[in-house]
Structure 1
Amino acid sequence: MKLKELHSVHFLGIGGIGMSALARWFNHVGVAVSGYDKTPSSLTKALEEEGMQISFSDDIESIPNKVKEDSSKSLIVWTPAIPKDTVQLRYFQQEGYRLEKRAAVLGLITADMPTIAVAGTHGKTTTSSMIAHLLKHAGKNVAAFLGGITQNYQSNLILHDEGKKGATVVVEADEFDRSFLHLHPNVAVLTSADPDHLDIYGDDEHMVEGFRAFVDLLPSGGQLYVQANAFSKIGLPKKAVKVMQYGINAGEVRAENIRPKVASFAFDFVSKDYKIKELEIKIPGYHNVENVLPAISIALQMGISPAEIKAGLESYKGVKRRFEIWVQEDGKVFIDDYAHHPEEIRAFLSSVKAMYPQNKLTAIFQPHLYTRTRDFAKGFSESLSLADEVVLLDIYPARELPIEGVSASMLLAGIQVTKKSLQTKDGLLDYLNASKPEVLVTIGAGDIDRLVEPIANWMKNHEN
């Protein structure tokens, strides 16, 4: 299917953040967009205001006539979150429409546009948003599909100028369910290849094979930027692609002379052809310094000057829930982060400690998924031990049913700090009021985000 031949795209589950980004992209390029969702939301309201036809009634009558007129020129995009007995879903299946999930549609888009795809167990949202921002800031024609809400654009989508030629698309390449294997990258970034999603891949080696398969999507002559430790796991690609390793004090592209500051990190960028001194990113963290290296490299490759890169980094505000500083006052600091893997927690807490070496660090962690907690229990306990005090919340199950014997409390014994406890979300503020933290962090990918604003308000108002 050629996207330019479509006259309409209909979304089942249009109100999801990933689906709504795709809907806005199709609307932007001039394809008629419609959709169904169970309930209205601020996202569906915004889509309607942009001219998309959305219904909240699951019946055939709500499907626009244009979609019904010609199934060969209509694409149906659906999410597995939609029940299988949904009337519209069954209608489209029975009538022979082409139905695709979000990942496959991203594949169709990347087949039509020069693509930079960013994969990896950690760091892909920040890295892809940094790449997109540096290109956009320098005036390049760029579109981006990201895995988080950027602070600069208040969206997970950046739209290209459809009237100009030469648009590039930046895509966050998700390894979950092997979704990234639908993509068609010309340039690929692999930020890490640590084990995760073992419910999908089975074991470490099969996950590494998944990343190798992603890298092998590059055409001959394509460009791969790969973090040095990840390269040691995946090795050289099968095809003749250009490989550039990067890392902190390691690889052909390096960050040197790293200096943690109060709300930023400064460093020097060093490669074979460039040395750019005194760069600064406003999102702290050693891991974020590493994440910016392929972004700078790609920007240089696309003809952006060191001065423009420096200005672009200074204006980059980060992604929501990635090292997001909510409170920073005398004796009181509160930072929220999406980390949900032992290596992400290790990187996050190490950076926080480097920024505030004299202060007591209290970490509140909500484990995400029963399988991940079971598979990486030892690693979680070890990385959380970098804090001075650890508070655990119950596991956020997401898509999973409970597993017997798996709970947040199983991490407590391995956490090597004196003060550690299991708390409820409802009782958390009372606990904090009694413990009076100095540097407080919330960590996790579940609904812990609903606690962030109440904690920030409490911290601003309480007396140490």
Structure 2
Amino acid sequence: MNLKKVDFFYFLGIGGMGMSSLARYFHSIGKTVYGHDKNRTLLTNKLEEEGIYINYHDCIEILPKWVLSKKCLIVYTPAIPNNHKQWIYLKKYGKNIKKRSQVLSFITENAICIAIGGTHGKTTTCTLLGHILYNAGISFTSLLGGISENYQSNIILNGNKIFLVEADEFDHSFLYLSPNIACITSFEQDHVDIYPNKKILKKAYIAFLKRIKKPYKKIFLCKEESLPLIKNAIYYSVIQKANYYSNHISIKRNKWYFDFHTPTDTWKFLPLPIPGIHNLKNITAALAISDYLKINKEKIRKSLFLFKGIKRRYSIHYQSKNKIYIDDYAHHPTEINALIQTVRKCFPNKKILGVFQPHLFSRTKFFEESFARSLEKLDILILLDIYPAREFYMDGIINSNNLLKKIKMSSKNKEISNLSQVLEKIEKKHFDIIITIGAGDIDSLIIPIKKWLYKRYG
């Protein structure tokens, strides 16, 4: 599809992280961008401040007149429910309708494309790599799956020679991309409604890796993951020697440092801007690709020192002598394990209260035992109701009570809450560290918890 002939864009589900980055991109190149979302959020407010019009009511009367013209592209996310009135109307009468993943393929097909895939770590790897490219003065645009703290956006605009994007496996989205350089950070089941077993998931990843094209035609793989050996792949690791690897981790005054090894050199005592072995793995991937692209070593080192991280990825919102508050997007047992392990490493012998919001009924049911084992590593747990996201409400069939029963923790240290009552419960707990965990709307607690902590502890 020739996007140059499109003047108008209408995004159904514009408040999603992937959709909003695309909306911002088209707005930045002078296109007229409108969108719909069911809820007003901090992100949609920001989009409106930037000049993007958004409606929040599911009715066709408020659609712009140009939405049915040939010069309009309607972009939708698979999360839009089938009974959505605007979606039913636009499917029937719209001239150009494409999935977000298809549109992403259109904007990257005529440029060098670097795609970061994997179950965990895509956003951290992609955001740091984008930060390095920006500081190196490379002509590129990056579309991110999170909000960069450095750029306060999920898009980094610095030219169009390279497009740096996340290759999302959900709904087989990454199979629309044909990148020149691909990286797989991790390989594990997550979207179980799409990939009910690991064999189907592996088949999709292999299909994605077969889409890599010249120039470059390079694949970066984490050596510890269970993908099959790929001929001519470039491997990286934080456990064993590889083409690129990191080791000699040290912690001084709660700051992490490491050594990074290239095929020809060793870079000593680099700062790890986000703590945790899982984050070191992601940062090793970003450094490996940067070195392969021959970016100046000192510019890479400087970028590490200047990197502020990503919102909702080990974000410390409050820290005093008595209390610490961390918020994290972790929504998979592996991610929760890594998060708690990192907090324990950074703040030993502290009592941790975790507030966890399960995301998706299918994921919660599939990983029920694994979630239980990971959440047991907390000292105190407040478990929220399941956030259904794109799924239909299934309480009574699958719910948080079922999960709570499987968690081997004293009944006085674990309980269920809904989102509206959780702050009241937090205020009664005795803890040193509080972590809010999850990918739903649990981020709406950040400001209330911060306000309470500042009011009570200064």
| Matching residue of 1:8 | 7
Q: Residues 426 and 92 of structure 1: is their aligned pair in 2 closer, same or farther, counting only changes over 3 Å?
A: closer
Number of residue pairs matched by the alignment: 449
Q: Secondary structure at the match of 1:436?
A: coil
- Amino acid in the other structure paired with 1:33: T
Preserved contact between residue 60 and residue 87 of structure 1 (Cα < 8 Å): no
The answer as to 2:319 corresponding to 1:302 is no
2: distance between equivalents of 1:140 and 1:35? 30
Instruction: Output aligned runs, 1:239-278, within 5 Å.
Output: 241-261=232-252, 264-278=255-269
From 365, 387, 391, the equivalent of 2:378 is: 387
2: distance between equivalents of 1:129 and 1:428? 32
TM-score, normalised relative to structure 1: 0.87
Q: Deviations over 1:383-408 (max 9, x none)?
A: 12222222222211222221644222
| Matching residue of 1:63 | 65
1: distance between equivalents of 2:24 and 2:441? 26
The answer as to 2:416 corresponding to 1:423 is yes
Q: Secondary structure at the match of 1:146?
A: strand
1: distance between equivalents of 2:96 and 2:421? 49
The answer as to 2:178 corresponding to 1:179 is no
From 207, 218, 241, the equivalent of 2:212 is: 218
Unpaired stretches in structure 2, ≥5 consecutive residues: none
Identity percentage of aligned residues: 36
Q: Residues 463 and 105 of structure 1: is their aligned pair in 2 closer, same or farther, counting only changes over 3 Å?
A: closer
| Matching residue of 1:373 | 364
Q: Secondary structure at the match of 2:263?
A: coil
2: distance between equivalents of 1:262 and 1:328? 15
Preserved contact between residue 58 and residue 88 of structure 1 (Cα < 8 Å): no
Q: CA deviation at 1:126?
A: 0.9
| Matching residue of 2:302 | 311
RMSD: 2.9
From 449, 453, 457, the equivalent of 2:447 is: 453
Q: Secondary structure at the match of 1:258?
A: strand
TM-score, normalised relative to structure 2: 0.88
Preserved contact between residue 141 and residue 168 of structure 1 (Cα < 8 Å): yes
2: distance between equivalents of 1:53 and 1:362? 40
2: distance between equivalents of 1:387 and 1:52? 42
Q: Secondary structure at the match of 1:192?
A: coil
Q: Secondary structure at the match of 2:436?
A: strand
From 154, 163, 169, the equivalent of 1:169 is: 163
The answer as to 2:317 corresponding to 1:326 is yes
The answer as to 2:272 corresponding to 1:281 is yes
- Amino acid in the other structure paired with 2:363: R
Instruction: Output aligned runs, 1:192-211, within 5 Å.
Output: 192-211=186-205
Q: CA deviation at 1:16?
A: 2.4
Q: Residues 383 and 63 of structure 1: is their aligned pair in 2 closer, same or farther, counting only changes over 3 Å?
A: same
1: distance between equivalents of 2:257 and 2:101? 36
- Amino acid in the other structure paired with 1:379: S
2: distance between equivalents of 1:335 and 1:60? 40
Moved more, 450-459 or 240-249: 240-249
Instruction: Output aligned runs, 1:389-408, within 5 Å.
Output: 389-400=380-391, 401-402=393-394, 404-408=396-400
| Matching residue of 1:234 | 227
Preserved contact between residue 14 and residue 23 of structure 1 (Cα < 8 Å): no
Preserved contact between residue 36 and residue 58 of structure 1 (Cα < 8 Å): no
